[in-house]
Amino acid sequence: MSNNFTITDLLPLPNSSVKIPRLGFGVYRSPTSVCKQSTLKALEVGYRHIDTAQFYANEKEVGEAIRDSGLSRDELFVTTKILAPAGSPEATYQKMVDSVDKIGGKDGYVDLFLIHSSSSGSSGRKELWQALEKLREEGRTKSIGVSNFGVKHIEEMREYAKVWPPHVNQIELHPWCQQQVIDAYCKKNGIIVEAYSPIVRNYKANDPILVETAKKYNKSTQQVLIRYALQKGWVPLPKTDNPERIVSNADVFDFHISDDDFSVLNGLDQGSAGAIVEAVENE
């Protein structure tokens, strides 16, 4: 992998003119009372990619931050997600429109809209995807993708999807949960792989190998994990509401993890047992 990443790097989405920033800012569990401020801080630091979801209940606050940031909308990349169908194709579509309205206003759009989970069954996944395709056709989202989908879920979509492959698959990824099967599958098919929980919610902050590596580079354990994700070719989405951490999590472009240290981190993989949220089902 190239060593010369920057916070302004953009990666092309498959079969699309859309490009996604290489680093994102996640707002999972960011309370409405602080989400807007955290998002504004992230944008001030240089992030241009914000990742929210209906389930996070803070889309409105993200939208307010975007409007108050002083940045032009086309400089930003905003993602949201829908967890489950709403009972009918029309209701599901409307639920998506409501999200876009919260974030971008009645004439606004999001850059990426994802199915948040594979858990709604094959008919539910189909209903969600077809609603997303309609949303894209109408210009309310620029690109569409999935989250927590394994190989079998993405393959299943071939039968009905007008847009295939999905532009993005967002999954849990870090040294202890590298999800190698789905990662390789996505890369082979040109699907951008986004890494949620890239800093493992700090559960591994005292891991001796990680601590030793961080000391070697004079970086925090979080910075090492974010840099690791970048060097893996993933789009990491670190989340924090701590203003200093928001700054330091973006300060990952002035060092490179050596091949030897990278191999050591690769060696921490525990497969699905290493997941703190969810490892996908591939078969």
Active site residues: 56, 116
Q: Is the dihedral of CA 140, 135, 46, 105 positive or negative?
A: positive
Tokens at residue 250, please? 């973006």
Question: Rg of the chain's alpha carbons, rounded to an integer?
Answer: 18
Q: CA 271 from chain center: how many Å?
A: 20
Write the DSSP symbol of residue 50: E
Which amino acid appears at position 201 of this protein? R
H helices of 138-252, where?
A: 151-156, 180-188, 208-217, 221-231, 243-249
Collapsed DSSP state (helix, strand, coil) of residue 113: strand
CA distance linking residue 183 with residue 191, whole number of Å: 9
C-beta of residue 210 within 8 angstroms of C-beta of residue 204? yes
